[in-house]
Structure 1
Amino acid sequence: MMKIVPPKPFFYKGGDKAVLLLHSFTSNTIDMKKLGKYLQQHNYTCYAPLYRGHGLAAEELLTFRPTNWWQDVLDGYQLLKDEGYEKIAVVGLSLGGVLALKVAQELEVTGVVTMSVPIRREAAFLQKRVFHYAKGYKQLEGKNEDQINVEITRLQNMSIDSLVEFQHLIQKTMDKLALITSPISILYGGLDDPLYKDSADVISHNVATQHKTMKGYPNSKHLMTLGIDKNEVNKDILTFLNDLLW
Structure 2
Amino acid sequence: MKITKKSPEPFYYQGDKRIGLLLIHGFTGSPAEIRLLGDFLQQKGYAVYAPLLAGHGTSPEEMAKTNQEDWWNSVLEAYEFMKSEGYDQIISIGLSMGGILSLKLAMEKPLLAVIPMAAPIFVHDKRMAFARWIKYIKAYQVKGKKVDQIEENLASYDRTPIKCVESLHRLIKEVKHDLPRVHCPVFIMQGKRDETVIPESANYIYRHISSSTKEIKWYEQSTHILTIDQEREKVFEDLYLFISQISQ
TM-score range with shorter-chain normalisation?
A: 0.7 to 0.9
- CA deviation after TM superposition for structure 1 residue 196, in Å: 3.1
State which structure, 1 or 2, has the greater radius of gyration over its C-alpha atoms.
Answer: 1
Where does residue 98 of structure 1 map in the other structure? 100
- Identical counterparts, % of pairs: 32
Q: Encode CA deviations 1:66-92: one digit per residue, 9 max, x unaligned.
A: 111111100000000011110000000
CA separation in 1, counterparts of 2:45 and 2:198? 31
Q: Which runs of 5+ in 2 are unaligned?
A: 1-5, 147-157
Where does residue 12 of structure 1 map in the other structure? 13
Normalized against structure 1, the TM-score is what? Answer: 0.83
The aligned length equals 223
Instruction: Provide runs of 4+ in structure 1 moved above 6 Å.
Output: 125-128
Equivalent runs, 1:100-119 vs 2, <5 Å: 100-119=102-121
Question: Structure 1: which amino acid aligns with 2:15?
Answer: G
Equivalent runs, 1:137-152 vs 2, <5 Å: none
CA separation in 2, counterparts of 1:40 and 1:82? 19
- Quickly say closer, same or farther: Cα 1:194–1:12, change in 2 above 3 A: closer
Q: Encode CA deviations 1:168-219: one digit per residue, 9 max, x unaligned.
A: 1100101111111110011111111485321000000011112111011111
The answer on whether the counterparts of 1:58 and 1:133 sit within 8 Å (CA) in structure 2 is: no
- CA deviation after TM superposition for structure 1 residue 20, in Å: 0.4
More helix by share: 1
Equivalent runs, 1:2-41 vs 2, <5 Å: 7-15=8-16, 16-41=18-43
CA separation in 2, counterparts of 1:210 and 1:64? 35
Q: Encode CA deviations 1:22-63: one digit per residue, 9 max, x unaligned.
A: 001111001111111111111110001101221222122111
- CA deviation after TM superposition for structure 1 residue 134, in Å: 9.3
Question: Structure 1: which amino acid aligns with 2:39?
Answer: K
Q: Which runs of 5+ in 1 are unaligned?
A: 137-151
Normalized against structure 2, the TM-score is what? Answer: 0.82
- CA deviation after TM superposition for structure 1 residue 124, in Å: 4.8
Identify the range of structure 1 (51-60 vs 31-40) with the bigger mean alpha-carbon deviation. 51-60
- Quickly say closer, same or farther: Cα 1:232–1:6, change in 2 above 3 A: closer
Equivalent runs, 1:8-87 vs 2, <5 Å: 8-15=9-16, 16-87=18-89
The answer on whether the counterparts of 2:122 and 2:198 sit within 8 Å (CA) in structure 1 is: no
